[in-house]
A and B are shown apart, each in its own frame.
Chain A
Amino acid sequence: EVQLVESGGGLVKPGGSLRLSCAASGFTFSNYSMNWVRQAPGKGLEWVSSISNTGSSIFYADSVKGRFTISRDNAKNSLYLQMNSLRAEDTAVYYCARGGLNWGYNYWGQGTLVTVSS
Chain B
Amino acid sequence: DIQLTQSPTFLSASVGDRVTITCRASQGISRYLAWYQQKPGKAPKLLIYAASTLQSGVPSRFSGSGSGTEFTLTISSLQPEDFATYYCQQLNSYPLTFGGGTKVEIK
Contact = CB atoms under 8 A, between A and B. Distances in A.
Contacts of B92: 101
A10 B43 CA distance: 18
Looking at chain A's contact residues, the main secondary structure is strand
Interface stretch (B18-26, B69-77, B95-103): B95-103
B31 to A, nearest CB: 10
Contacts of B101: 44-45
B46 A105 contact: yes
Interface residues of B, number: 26
A47 B44 CA distance: 12
B44 A105 contact: yes
Interface in A60-84: 60-62
B49 A103 contact: yes
Contacts of B87: 44-45
